With several copies, the nearest count.
Chain A
Amino acid sequence: MIRVQEQDFDINQEYQALLNNDSSSGAVVLFVGRVRDLNQGHQVSQLFLEHYSQMTEKYLAQLEQQAMELWPLENVSIIHRVGELKLEDKIVLVAVSSTHRESAFEAAQYLIDLLKANAPFWKKELVDGGKNRWVNANHKDKIAAAQWS
């Protein structure tokens, strides 16, 4: 399940939806990315998330498909928010269910690593008490994604 949306999401609801009628998943891994106060040396007070809407859901659906082929997963959910976000807001959820924990952990890391490297989202931060700043792509994130290929 893939969703790109402005509104917040509820972790319990997403857990239930992921596991609806599933008695065989012994392991669930959830990753939540949040707006944090300090980024690349700047004090962040707000975030605006732009995206290329025609491409984001298409890319995330492909990514989900790839993960399902690489690991024996029961289910995958990815939710990414766009628009105005405040400090401490949730930005992204990656949720994976599987019989065993090894595949759930690996697939969750794969999904967030590839999402960060390839999904067409851009963060613009309100920093240091008033300036707007586009976040720089992180070299560490490229390396994290490259390790899977």
Chain B
Amino acid sequence: MNKILFFAQLRERLQCDEVTLDAAGLQVSELRQQLAQRNERWRKWILEKDVLVAVNQSLAPAEFYIGSGDEIAMFPPVTGG
């Protein structure tokens, strides 16, 4: 199974801190597609907006394959510093 964490405005818009599901074997882009099917709100915020994805705390490209147990995080462009 995989934990998927959401941050900042993405977390607020989805009204969700995290979900747990089995994403092993999916590419990052496929996981986004799958989450987008939940409803219109998810489609808009997960798929249409600029979303960064980290796998095991490192930024991962769309074609990256998720492994069993990997920690996934999705978030908007960062604004620290």
Q: Do A and B bind each other?
A: yes
CB within 8 Å of B: which residues of A?
33, 49-52, 54-55, 58-59, 80, 91-92, 112, 115-124, 134-138, 141
Interface of A is mostly: mixed
| Residues on the A chain within 8 Å of B7, using CB | 50, 52, 120, 122
Assess whether A120 is in contact with B81, with CB atoms less than 8 Å apart: no
The contact of B76 among A115, A117, A134, by CB within 8 Å, is A134
Residues of A within 8 A of B78 (CB): 116-122, 137
- Which of B59, B75, B77, B80 has the most C-beta atoms of chain A within 10 angstroms of its own C-beta? B80
Of A49, A50, A116, A141, most B-chain CB atoms within 10 Å = A50
A55 touches B57 (CB 8 A): yes
A137 and B57 within 8 A (CB): no
Q: Please, which residue of chain B has its CB at the minimum distance from the CB of A133?
A: B9
Closest residue to A113 on the B side, CB-wise?
B81
Q: Which residues of A contact B77 (CB under 8 A)?
A: 137
B30 contact set on A, CB distance < 8 A: none
Cβ contacts under 8 Å, A58 to chain B: 57-58
Q: Closest CB-CB distance, A6 to chain B, in whole Å?
A: 14
B1 at interface (Cβ–Cβ under 8 A)?
no
Question: 9 shortest A-B CB distances, which residue pairs?
Answer: A121-B80, A137-B77, A122-B8, A116-B81, A55-B57, A135-B79, A134-B9, A123-B79, A58-B57
The complex places the Cα of A91 from the Cα of B80 at a distance, in Å, of: 9
B22 near A: Cβ within 8 Å? no
B50 cross-chain contacts in A, Cβ below 8 A: 137
Contact partners of A115 in chain B: CB under 8 A: 80-81
Per-residue CB contact flags for chain B residues 40-67 toward chain A (1 = under 8 Å, else 0) read 0000000000100010011100000000
